[in-house]
Amino acid sequence: MRVIAGAKKGRQLKAVPGTSTRPTTDKVKEAVFHMIGPFFSGGLCLDLFAGSGSLGIEALSRGMERTVFVDKDPKAIQTIRQNLRTMELEQKAEVFRADAYRSLQAVKKRELQFALILIDPPYKKADYFQILHTIESLELINGHGIIYCEHDTVASMPDDLRHFSILKQENYGGTTGVTIYQHT
């Protein structure tokens, strides 16, 4: 795993030890960021189910001002912190060991709104409908913000959101699907 583009281009990232996470491949990461960026001029990013932090770090490398990383696995939190330290991005990040749903409530209390939300949970272990409807009801996306969802190719993704439309849906290989929503 590496950072694909931007200020930290080419730098290696550590993966979370064990089999509890499934890192986004460099190929998928590159394709996705070309669709949603490819570069940013500031803004806040939320990396839910962050794993190694690879997606949020990519967003920082490409110009996001700040990223909030959330994962409930202690090994993932340790890996995120290590990757941020290695990339010298600690001042641009907040890392929380928490459940994704509780963290959405917490960022609402802080009155944060994001330009980009990255959602990459373990396949078949998260309710995308609940997550996306919660993000929508809590008004966590600003302006024309984007939500990136990585999922199993057979997953049914919500298309009934009132304030978001599907910008793009792609399948990569036999197992990885990506749905990108944009605030309307």
DSSP state letters, 117-152:
EEE-PPTTSS-HHHHHHHHHHTT-EEEEEEEEEEEE
Mean pLDDT check: name the lowest of 46-50, 131-135, 160-164. Answer: 160-164
pLDDT band at 107 (very low <50, low <70, confident <90, very high): very high
Between 138 and 26, whose confidence is greater?
138
Buried b (16+ CB within 10 A) or exposed e, 99-119: ebeebbeebbeeebbbbbbbb
Mean pLDDT calculated for residue range 2-22: 89
Average pLDDT for the chain: 93
Instruction: Summarize pLDDT for 20-73 with one digit per residue, the tens.
Output: 677 788 888 998 898 898 899 999 999 999 999 999 999 999 999 999 999 999
Check residue 20 and give its pLDDT. 66
Q: How far apart are CA 51 and CA 160, in angstroms?
A: 28
Structure-block tokens of residue 57: 């770090």
Mean pLDDT calculated for residue range 123-132: 87
Whether residue 100 is predicted with pLDDT greater than 70 in this model: the reply is yes
Mean pLDDT calculated for residue range 1-16: 94
